[in-house]
Chain A
């Protein structure tokens, strides 16, 4: 009798590969995005099967949910720019010059060889080889939290995590400084169902996001996952135009972006002293400090991701745009 999980795993693996191939081959951009989102959801399932629930949550929230929203927003903008907003026709990509078949085959052969080489190297590596597991288990009592992933991310290797938050800060600054020279695409018309949906779903998102953050200390979850879920609140507010970013809000937004990085770095520095180095939390306060950092970082991540979705610095509208708006 075959273990049913083996069949599930096989199907999951095949589906992920098939979806990846479909994303690459389909020409209609909308279809490609939808396939990509499905691909992400199945990947998240695959992470669950690989016993990595933290990665699964991140993949579902950031890799699929938020990235999917960003892609759809970009498609909307592309349709607006190309003037195909009101047409039903699919917006598709056709290469200006078709790539010669010979080039495609040479590329395929080269990439295939590289993949084979990497597969051989992978198979030659030790199974269940050494890892951090033993070290982490040994150091857990001194970490202040109960979930090993949180201990690694916020204590043992907190420096890496701080710099990952810095990456997000750099991203939002880079996006804000791009001067588009193009007006924003009008928000899509939202039907009747929308308002009811938002009313139902908004409180649920807030609860789920906060829960993910809180539970991170002892179970899978944490700042990045919680932040991404909370960012969905921002997305809904932006989409429904319940909140419209104004130039006057820029100061608060900037504060929101840097809050996580600033607080994290400040805590890391301030705990140093009395023989301790940077990032070395005193054990009796470790849990409080880690929760404080996670809480602030979550807020920052949520605001930053929502701002990335908005995609531009809210600057004063020019006269023509103001008229259009009114």
Chain B
């Protein structure tokens, strides 16, 4: 049997999901092994891409446009690596966070199917294949959303499913228009295409569909409830990883389709600005910790779209890198933050922000993790979030688009304000007197989120190699 890292990246989680579903008692062990094998495959793939640039594999021996080929370049591998690393740590966190037998039984198959779908998106070069992959992601993600089994989670999951399926249908309609115009569905066909009415319609439909899936303001209505009511590991996966798949497709499409014009780029940036401000205000008003973290996701998604639009249409050749950095930074930091928030809720017994300083139990390590993740999300140096925000503002300043700098500054101030609400609660030790021993509230389960949060800060020091890696084999607007 001939082995290939890309095939392994897809099939390891798929077989893992099948086995974990067949043998529920061994789901944890099988799931962890599958995630580890997937991680190994991604490392193998990364080495191949480092050595020879982008790698391609025509599945079934049928070359596009008739067949489908898998392709990995620097950006794909960066997304795969982020997914595998965050996924592994969240899996470790889930070992402790999921105590309920039913939740454990279903978490692993759903999460591994989700991983299959996301890896499929990052390796895809065909827009119909992308549609199928986002459907895999959507169903697995909805399953994870309602895993907690509460009424609020079910309601939020239903809303999420409606939004997600509507988004996928819009995307599919766009795919139809592309086929109508070009008669093919692969990326190479998109790059060589001449601009036309049908392709503009296709791009509009697909962008709206993806905006719905990634929760770009004002289509974010489903996200806060869905992410806030899921169990902690599910929230970490949904917020850290799932919304990134649609963002990634957005980045690919806008670079491969006939270039979007200035008005569209400005519109996308404006919606991003709306997300930053509206999400910031809602995060300030949120009463529960997990809801605040979920609103912060809306803000960060907006920020990524501002990074995309930071220097207008001519700047797109560089802007995608700032957006990609912010995607990676948010993935790591938000997973850490949701896991930490889950730990705090587990230890304290609730996650009402106002009451956090009135508990005798102080999950100090989880609080510390939360603060580190907040540093990256606010964008303080030397975190990866800082590098992302910095390259956003640098590009905007160089192009003279000062309004994007202004919005980013306002967003940063808002994020300092809403995270301070939580951090201030953590720091007030004088409110409750209790015997010394009871202040402790940390466990082995804090290791996974802490590792993630430290990485979110530490990766900022590796920003230069990351930047040169994501450019491997990904020349803007052209297929090599």
Residue numbers of A with Cβ under 8 A of B are 117-118, 120-122, 124-126, 129-132, 135-136, 139, 155-160, 163-164, 166-167, 169-171, 173-174, 176-179, 254-255, 257-258, 261-262, 265, 269-270, 272-281
Contact = CB atoms under 8 A, between A and B. Distances in A.
B62 A269 contact: no
A159 B133 CA distance: 11
Given A130-B182, A174-B146, A179-B102, 17 more contacts: A118-B173, A121-B177, A130-B184, A135-B65, A139-B62, A139-B66, A157-B68, A158-B59, A170-B110, A170-B136, A173-B143, A174-B139, A177-B110, A261-B18, A265-B11, A277-B57, A281-B60
Contacts of A276: 2, 61
A254 B181 contact: no
A71 B3 CA distance: 45
Interface in B129-147: 129, 132-133, 135-136, 139-140, 142-143, 146-147
Given A157-B67, A176-B106, A277-B61, A131 B147 contact: no
A253 B3 CA distance: 32
Contacts of B105: 177
A159 B68 contact: yes
A132 B7 contact: no
A281 B154 CA distance: 43
Contact of A167 (B110, B139, B201): B139
Interface stretch (B192-200, B432-440, B455-463): B192-200
Nearest to A173: B109
Nearest to A134: B183
Interface residues of B, number: 59
B196 A125 contact: yes
B368 interface: no
A281 B7 CA distance: 16
Given A121-B198, A258-B21, A274-B2, A160 B106 contact: no
Given A269-B1, A280-B61, A122 B143 contact: no
A132 to B, nearest CB: 6
A278 B60 contact: yes
B197 A125 contact: yes
Contact of B128 (A124, A160, A171, A177): A160
B180 A129 contact: yes
B346 to A, nearest CB: 20
B22 A255 contact: yes
B237 interface: no
A269 B7 contact: yes
A270 B1 contact: yes
B68 to A, nearest CB: 5
